[in-house]
Structure 1
């Protein structure tokens, strides 16, 4: 078994990959996609769709970056879970389960992200977090 169990390493990998996924979804919105995102949200009946578009873009990009470096993981994961659940109920549920194949655009991917984020909430952030570095530095003072 590859040198024994290493849950901290596993959580680190999960945290970084989920963080990168969110950065890759948020950055294009910040880099010019706000109008399209606001129009899409408006078509769903989301009030203040332009403000919501900025909030989503910032949450995905900055929140994803926080996950990558391991900073504010708990609050960011909670916000991203809420974001993914909103996406499930506002958009994806009507399309079924599968992302591709029968019922394209379904809840499958969002559900996987929710499970990963909840794992980080309940099991921890894993190794190599910026937060742990700050805590060590504060203990020295």
Structure 2
């Protein structure tokens, strides 16, 4: 069946779960983990590691919160997908595919988050998104 039984509900579930994942990863950085994040980014050769650490912490926390609420889903999904792709290429690719087991620390989790972000980007935010309250219906003749 094309579109499934309730694609709006499916997108809602995807958006909320991924939003929660990002909030749970970003909040500890904001709550005292910036120095460690900056040190890690510096070890990777990321320029302005302290500024990048703040940007990442804010993106993950506020971006995750936006996903939870259904606000600015398209730009947030694009930014978070880019963030996860950077993580794949800077950190995880060298560790292989799997997160656990052989090649521990691999790309699979980040790849799944990128796929989820692309689904939200292409298919929308689903039901119960606050941004739907601000969008006007556009009818094309």
Aligned to 1:63: 63
Pairwise CA distance, 1:71: 0.2
Aligned pairs (5 A) from 1:25-44: 25-44=25-44
Structure 2 residue runs of 5 or longer lacking an equivalent are 137-141
Pairwise CA distance, 1:133: 1.8
Pairwise CA distance, 1:110: 0.1
Aligned to 1:126: 126
Aligned to 2:92: 92
Q: CA RMSD in A?
A: 0.9
- TM-score w.r.t. structure 2 length? 0.92
The 1-side partners of 2:64 and 2:101 are apart by: 28
The 1-side partners of 2:134 and 2:75 are apart by: 17
Number of residue-to-residue matches in the alignment: 133
Aligned to 2:15: 15
The runs of 4+ residues in structure 1 deviating greater than 6 Å are none
- TM-score w.r.t. structure 1 length? 0.92
Residues 67-86 of structure 1: CA distance to partner in whole angstroms, max 9, x if unpaired? Answer: 00000000000000110000
Q: Secondary structure of the residue that 1:135 maps to in structure 2? A: coil
Structure 1 residue runs of 5 or longer lacking an equivalent are 137-141
